[in-house]
Amino acid sequence: MRLHIILFFCIQLLKLTDAAVIANVENKELPVIEIVGSKFFDSSNGEQFYMKGIAYQPSRSIEMLESAVDTFETKYIDPLADPIICLRDIPYLKKLNINTIRVYTIDPTQSHDVCMQALSNEGIYVLLDLAEPDVSINRDTPTWDVNIWKRYCDVIDSMHQYSNLLGFFAGNEVTNDITNTDASPFVKAAIRDVKKYIQAKGYRSIPVGYSSNDDADTRDNLAEYFACGEYAADFYGINMYEWCGYSSYGTSGYKERTKEFEGYPIPVFFSEFGCNLIRPRPFTEVSALFGAKMSSVWSGGLAYMYFEEENEYGIVKVDEELGVTELEDFKYLQKEFGMASPKGVKKEDYINSNAFKKLQQLETCPQPQYMMNWHATNNIPPAPDVKKCSCLENVLPCLVLPFENAEKEKEYFNYVCGQVDCSDIKANGEYGEYGEFSSCSSNQKLALQISKLYNKLGKNVNECPISDRNVYFNIKSQRKSLQTGKCSDVTLQTIKNAIITKPKNIVQEPVKEEATKETPYRRTSGADNNSLTYSGCLLLVFSIFVMTLVL
């Protein structure tokens, strides 16, 4: 088995060498896809562009993880950084008659030149998500912080130069029901800052959008929210699974969805589709999506997905020797995409049309105070302040390393915020309230609050009030030259005010007994404990003396 794999890799490397030579001779740079109103256009000829695409993101199977000898650099597989994967699959992608792939995660530290050029040579564009599984906007505890911001910037910097990069997704299904609509302001802030970053760096104007789910209670407000106001998304994708098997335009829900998006001011498309309740999937929705009734509103869509995995949504299966087998779903999708021929409009004609003239930007956003199922403020979070947050690590007396155990970190936050005022790190997407340090990383936020507790206790020792290997005393905080060297006077004063001020009316949460037994927290103050012990002893002696006299 291993010999076969080694031989396969050798063959692929030879192919890669040949492909690189050919690419140097026959490089094809695709024209940029641009947005005008609610449509995509080929910038070279003004033809309307429709996505005929597929999601393309392999993952490691349980068997692969169990049998692995070495550790992996990332938890995910970047298919655009591995020529062995992408060059193997591009002929199949071309056979499917597609022009776009969606990739959910890439490694910005790797080169993507070979795969992006090979895709370009075959006329294939890429839609790319900016997040990765461990660095993304969490719908349950949303934040737009310096770590996510850095990840987004790194991806942009590594991919902006490719003309076949169609656009970026700033989020995917971050709000997925009525319980987490307050997470959407953080995605909208990301869209705002990413667009500003692209402009500030002098990159070409790369579209930035959002990919939503199709939840009945939130879909109308979500669509309106991301297309309204000053910081609207450039495009809007919907992960649509309403059509299963041999459904129809009228019975699937497609008719209602199409009517809802008539006059929508930005391009809208299916960022995923392909219900798998019936397999093999006939993909009959393709003919409706690209037909006359829908193509005037929708800009195509992307089937989910290329690789067959545990969730059974794939159209090909990759075996242990990295060979590819087409599944029955592949043949159906190939046939449907091959027949799809939407009647688009030329850019010039569209600009002069009544439809374009009637198109209006949504000025008014959904108002959460008047809606039961919508709690997303229109006051979106500020841009992450990298300098201010990094200054914390230079100034604070107590610092924190990232925790592998999220529950342990949460436990410490709960404890410390019972002793000090943590409002300066809170971020509330419902009421639009964002603390001074709300955009800092979680370990920076925790360090700030532990440092407050350190100062509150007044211990003049190099020892933080929480005993944990991830919490340590910052010797640099005592060196004024280092403090002023990296932080502005204003930032320094802001941090000092935050950790020195003793807020009033803080509710003191008692330390749980089991937490004390595990000794994750140091005792609050040696002086206070001694005083209590001394007072207790005097009381005990006095009591014994009185009892002796009575008896």
Q: Which residues are catalytic?
A: 173, 272
β-pair type (208-212, 33-36): unpaired
Please tell me the distance from the alpha carbon of residue 361 to that of residue 38, in angstroms, as a whole number.
Answer: 10
Residue 44 DSSP SS3: coil
Amino acid letter, 93: L
Q: What are phi and psi of 48, to 5 degrees?
A: -65, 140
Please tell me the distance from the alpha carbon of residue 432 to that of residue 423, in angstroms, as a whole number.
Answer: 13
- Among residues 60, 98, 51, 52, the alpha carbon closest in space to that of 79 is found at 60
Residue 26 DSSP SS3: helix
**What b/e sequence results for 31-47 when a residue is b if at least 16 CB atoms lie within 10 Å of its CB, and e otherwise?**
ebbbbbbbbbbbbeebe
Structure tokens at 92: 């199949």
Amino acid letter, 251: T
Amino acid letter, 441: S
- Among residues 410, 294, 409, 400, the alpha carbon closest in space to that of 342 is found at 294
Q: Rounded to a whole number, what is the distance in angstroms from the first to the last CA of the chain?
A: 91
β-pair type (125-129, 165-172): parallel
Please tell me the distance from the alpha carbon of residue 142 to that of residue 184, in angstroms, as a whole number.
Answer: 9
Contact in structure between 55 and 101 (CB atoms under 8 Å)? yes
Structure tokens at 219: 């879909």
Q: Hey, how many other C-beta atoms are within 10 angstroms of the C-beta on 267?
A: 27
Structure tokens at 521: 């927290």
Contact in structure between 471 and 464 (CB atoms under 8 Å)? yes
Please tell me the distance from the alpha carbon of residue 134 to that of residue 144, in angstroms, as a whole number.
Answer: 14
CA 336 to chain centre: 32
Q: Where are the alpha helices (DSSP H) in 244-353?
A: 254-260, 285-289, 328-339, 347-351
Tokens 């009421």 belong to which residue? Answer: 431
Residues in the chain: 551
β-pair type (398-400, 471-473): antiparallel
Please tell me the distance from the alpha carbon of residue 10 to that of residue 25, in angstroms, as a whole number.
Answer: 23
What radius of gyration, in Å, describes the C-alpha atoms of the chain?
29
Residue 214 DSSP SS3: coil
Q: Is 197 exposed, middle or buried (0-12, 13-18, 19+ CB in 10 A)?
A: middle
How many helices, marked H, and strands, marked E, lie in the chain?
A: 19, 16
